[in-house]
Amino acid sequence: MKFLSFGSRTYIMGILNITPDSFSGDGLLNTGDLLQAARRQALEFVSAGADILDIGGESTRPG
């Protein structure tokens, strides 16, 4: 487990939008296997230095 000490440095967050109405255009929903595409993207974020992963798994769009 990693603890974050806010205020001591800037943290990097990778955002995975995996809802059908995602407007990010990251293309995860257009792949044959969403789970594998999301996992691959998450690993890329971590290898690029992301400290936090935000997984948008439920839409907040009204209606």
Angle 23-4-10 (CA atoms, 0-180°, nearest 5)? Answer: 65
* Cβ proximity of 44 and 26 under 8 Å: no
Whether 46 has a pLDDT exceeding 90, the answer reads yes
Contact 34, 18 (CB under 8 A): yes
For 58, phi then psi, to 5°, come to -140, 130
Domain ranges of the chain: 13-56
Q: Which of 44, 41, 46 is nearest to 56 (CA)?
A: 41
pLDDT, mean of residues 19-25: 67
Q: How many residues does the chain have?
A: 63
Q: What is the pLDDT of residue 27?
A: 61
- List beta partners, residue 15: 54
Whether the pLDDT of residue 12 is over 60: the answer is yes
What does the pLDDT average to over 27-38?
76
Residue 52 has pLDDT above 70, yes or no: yes
